[in-house]
Amino acid sequence: MADKLRAGVIGCGSISRNHVGGYLNSGRYEVVALADLNESAMQDVDNQFRINTQHYTDARAMLAQEKLDVVSVCTWHGGHATWTIVAATYRPKAILCEKPMADTLGHAEQMLVACRRNNVKLVIGHQRRFLPAYTLAQSLIAQGAIGKVQLIQSCGGDGLPNYSSHQTDMYRYLLGDDECTWVMGNVERKTDQYERATRIEDCAMAVFQFRGGARALILSDLVPNYYQGALIVGSEGMINMTTNNLQLMNRGTGGQWQLHQPDGKFFKVEEQGDRFEWLEGGAAQADELADWIEGKVETHRGRGESGYKALEMIHAVYESARCHEKVVMPMRTRVNPLDLMVESGHLVPERPGRYDIRAFLLRGERMASDEEGAQIQEQP
């Protein structure tokens, strides 16, 4: 049996559990090192997974000393570019960065460049591409089971970058990674709201047009019952998909909803319930990454370029609101258009008072992210 890949994690907050669990559940990695400013955060990871890792409060020291094959970047969003670029200079075989890819398209582009010039494989953690229901829906669409896709509808919340970047990535995956050609949307932002130190809107709505003719619609923080998944309407049928199953209706089902609940490579839906998507998605994502590293597959479903396009679609919603127009892709604005709107006075909060909806994830006396301690000099 081949030696296991050596994995290290930068940032030991809540999402790091999905990365560590994915590595371990795939059976193809050993998690050897953790880096975080808080010793207690690293110890909690060790305790939860019953592992014994090396702990570092300086991630650069971990990268220099541990000879890692794979590095996970699990900081808050503003640290994704910083730590991906840092990690790439140490030339691991691959980096798995949590989504959204970055806080700006410019930073996301820098991540791609840094990994390309150092010959490092880059994956963005859109792990739902590996859910059996999503893959079955993609296959049914490709087979023409519902005819030509006309509309994909989804509902999100807690801001577009974190939650709905999964949904923009889902649209592309369901459509065989078809290209988004234009975006039109609008936002409301009466409060000074942030999510993991990234400025977010109070609510939003957007339409996405794809090259093949399909359209997608996001309603974010506009309806109370939002979820990961979608209603997919085609010319000859419909698919109603969640993270655990899908229902198909077409001529072949006699006009009735037909339930499909496919199990994963590593876990079964019935045994895991709501935990299934996290367990299976994390393990299958890590498994395919190992295959990519070992040359068993030519690419990875979550490769960096796909993560970039998912983020681009989100920022195009903000750009549409900023410019009051349909945004034709690719986007040319490399900074966050929502930041531009607020900082220019275009979108001043009517109810001042900055707050972060994820502040409860911080430890001790901290009420703000301190990952800005690692600075990257941007090139002019």
Q: Each residue of 72-85: pLDDT tens digit?
A: 999 999 999 999 99
Q: Express as a percent the part of the chain with pLDDT over 90.
A: 94
- Binning pLDDT at 50, 70 and 90, where does residue 39 land? very high
373 pLDDT above the threshold of 60? no
Could you give phi then psi for residue 297, rounded to 5 degrees?
A: -135, 155
Chain mean pLDDT for the chain: 95
206 pLDDT above the threshold of 80? yes
3-state helix, strand, coil in the chain (%, to 5): 40, 25, 35
| Domain assignment present for 12 | yes
| Domain assignment present for 354 | no
Q: How far apart are CA 151 and CA 329, in angstroms?
A: 19
Q: 5-15: per-residue pLDDT in tens? A: 999 999 999 99
Q: Which burial class, exposed, middle or buried, applies to 132 when counting CB atoms under 10 A from its CB (0-12, 13-18, 19+)?
A: buried
Average pLDDT over every residue of 260-277: 97
The length of the chain, given as a count of residues: 380
Q: Are 341 and 347 spatial neighbours (Cβ–Cβ below 8 Å)? A: yes
Range of the domain at 101: 5-127+281-303
User: According to the model, what pLDDT value does residue 369 have?
Assistant: 72
Provide the phi-psi class of 341: left if phi over 0, else alpha when psi is between -120 and 50, else beta: alpha
| Domain assignment present for 53 | yes
| Domain assignment present for 344 | no
Place of tokens 């996001």: 218
| Domain assignment present for 9 | yes
341 pLDDT above the threshold of 90? yes
Report residue 59 as tokens: 């991630």
User: According to the model, what pLDDT value does residue 365 have?
Assistant: 80
User: According to the model, what pLDDT value does residue 378 have?
Assistant: 31
User: According to the model, what pLDDT value does residue 2 have?
Assistant: 65
| Domain assignment present for 318 | no
Domain CATH code at residue 75: 3.40.50.720
| Domain assignment present for 231 | no
pTM: 0.95
User: According to the model, what pLDDT value does residue 257 have?
Assistant: 98
Higher-confidence residue of 368 and 357: namely 357
DSSP of 208-261: EEETTS-EEEEEESSSS--EEEEEEEETTEEEEEESS-EEEEEGGGTTS-EEE-
Total structural domains in the chain?
1
375 pLDDT above the threshold of 60? no
Average pLDDT over every residue of 319-344: 98
Q: Are 82 and 110 spatial neighbours (Cβ–Cβ below 8 Å)? A: no
Higher-confidence residue of 272 and 380: namely 272
Q: Are 64 and 270 spatial neighbours (Cβ–Cβ below 8 Å)? A: no
User: According to the model, what pLDDT value does residue 380 have?
Assistant: 24
Could you give phi then psi for residue 378, rounded to 5 degrees?
A: -80, 140
| Domain assignment present for 204 | no
